[in-house]
Amino acid sequence: MKDNKKIWLASPHMGGDELRFVKETFDTNWIAPIGPHINTFEEQLSKISNGYKVAALSSGTASIHLALILAGVKANDDVICSTFTFSASANPIKYLGANPVFIDSESLSWNMCPELLEKSIVEGIEKNKKPKAIILVHLYGMPAKMDVIMEISNQYDIPLIEDAAEALGSTYKNQPLGTFGKFGVYSFNGNKIITTSAGGALLCKDKSLIKKAKFFATQSRDNAPHYEHSEIGYNYRMSNVCAAIGLGQLEVLSDRVRRKREIYNFYKTELSGIKEITFLYESIGSFSNYWLTTILLDKNSTIDREQLRLHLEKDNIESRPLWNPMHLQPVFKNCKAYVNGVSGDLFNRGLCLPSGTNISNKDLKRVVNKIKELYEA
Ligand SMILES: *Cc1c(COP(=O)(O)O)cnc(C)c1O
Considering the domain architecture, whether residues 217 and 272 belong to the same structural domain is answered as no
Q: Which of 195, 222, 250 is the last residue of a domain?
A: 250
Number of the ligand 1 atom closest to the C-alpha atom of 191? 1
Average of per-residue pLDDT values in the chain: 97
Q: Which of 250, 277, 308 is the last residue of a domain?
A: 250
- DSSP string for 83-94: SSS-GGGTHHHH
DSSP 271: T
Q: How far is the CA of 174 from the centre of ligand 1 (A)?
A: 23
Number of the ligand 1 atom closest to the C-alpha atom of 198? 7
pLDDT for the residue numbered 238: 98
Query: Is it the case that residue 1 has pLDDT exceeding 60?
Result: no
Considering the domain architecture, whether residues 228 and 271 belong to the same structural domain is answered as no
- DSSP string for 126-183: HTT---SEEEEE-GGG----HHHHHHHHHHTT--EEEE-TT-TT-EETTEETTSSSSE
pLDDT for the residue numbered 301: 85
Closest CA to 112 of 148, 88, 77: 148
Closest CA to 360 of 1, 2, 38, 5: 5
Q: How far is the CA of 165 from the centre of ligand 1 (A)?
A: 5
In a mutational test of the pocket of ligand 1, which residue from 189, 245, 323, 324 has the highest number of ligand atoms less than 8 Å from its CB? 189
Q: Give CA separation, 245 vs 116, 238, 250, 263, 324, in Å.
A: 40, 11, 9, 24, 31
Closest CA to 141 of 192, 211, 94: 192
More confident residue, 2 or 235: 235
Can you name the residues that pair with 103 across neighbouring β-strands? 82, 338
Distance, CA of 374 to CA of 360 (rounded, Å): 22
Considering the domain architecture, whether residues 233 and 268 belong to the same structural domain is answered as no
Considering the domain architecture, whether residues 295 and 266 belong to the same structural domain is answered as yes
Query: Is it the case that residue 164 has pLDDT exceeding 90?
Result: yes
pLDDT for the residue numbered 376: 86
Query: Is it the case that residue 3 has pLDDT exceeding 80?
Result: no
Q: Is the CB of 338 under 6 A from ligand 1?
A: no
Question: 232 is in which domain, residue-wise?
Answer: 18-250
Considering the domain architecture, whether residues 46 and 148 belong to the same structural domain is answered as yes
Considering the domain architecture, whether residues 189 and 92 belong to the same structural domain is answered as yes
pLDDT band at 377 (very low <50, low <70, confident <90, very high): confident
Q: Is residue 4 part of a domain?
A: no
Convert the pLDDT of each residue in 60-87 to its tens digit: 999 999 999 999 999 999 999 999 999 9
Q: Is the CB of 60 under 6 A from ligand 1?
A: yes
Q: Give CA separation, 227 vs 41, 219, 234, in Å.
A: 28, 10, 15
Q: Is residue 282 part of a domain?
A: yes
Distance, CA of 254 to CA of 19 (rounded, Å): 20
Q: Is the CB of 187 under 6 A from ligand 1?
A: yes
Number of the ligand 1 atom closest to the C-alpha atom of 192? 1
Distance, CA of 79 to CA of 337 (rounded, Å): 11
The percentage of the chain sitting over the pLDDT mark of 70, rounded to a whole number, equals: 99
Closest CA to 199 of 141, 240, 258: 240
pLDDT band at 2 (very low <50, low <70, confident <90, very high): low
Q: Which of 185, 216, 250 is the last residue of a domain?
A: 250
pTM of the predicted protein model:
0.97
Q: Is residue 363 part of a domain?
A: yes
Considering the domain architecture, whether residues 286 and 345 belong to the same structural domain is answered as yes
Q: Is the CB of 166 under 6 A from ligand 1?
A: yes
Considering the domain architecture, whether residues 267 and 372 belong to the same structural domain is answered as yes
Q: Is residue 312 part of a domain?
A: yes
The beta-strand segments (E) located in the chain are: 53-57, 78-82, 99-103, 133-137, 160-163, 171-172, 175-176, 183-187, 200-204, 277-279, 286-287, 293-297, 320-321, 336-338, 350-353
Q: How far is the CA of 128 from the centre of ligand 1 (A)?
A: 32
If one counts the domains in the chain, the total is 2
Query: Is it the case that residue 357 has pLDDT exceeding 70?
Result: yes
Q: How far is the CA of 200 from the centre of ligand 1 (A)?
A: 8
Considering the domain architecture, whether residues 59 and 201 belong to the same structural domain is answered as yes
Q: Which residue's CA is minimally distant from atom 5 of ligand 1?
A: 60
Q: Is the CB of 163 under 6 A from ligand 1?
A: yes
Closest CA to 25 of 242, 189, 196: 242
Q: Which residue's CA is minimally distant from atom 14 of ligand 1?
A: 165
Q: What is the CATH number of the domain that holds 350?
A: 3.90.1150.10
Q: Which residue's CA is minimally distant from atom 11 of ligand 1?
A: 89
- Residue 312, C-beta contacts closer than 8 angstroms, at least 6 positions apart: 318, 319, 367, 370, 371
Considering the domain architecture, whether residues 359 and 292 belong to the same structural domain is answered as yes
Q: Give CA separation, 288 vs 45, 171, 283, 321, in Å.
A: 18, 7, 10, 20
Considering the domain architecture, whether residues 300 and 230 belong to the same structural domain is answered as no
Considering the domain architecture, whether residues 43 and 172 belong to the same structural domain is answered as yes
| The residue type at 296 | L
Q: Is the CB of 88 under 6 A from ligand 1?
A: yes
Number of the ligand 1 atom closest to the C-alpha atom of 63? 9
Q: What is the CATH number of the domain that holds 23?
A: 3.40.640.10
Q: Is residue 150 part of a domain?
A: yes
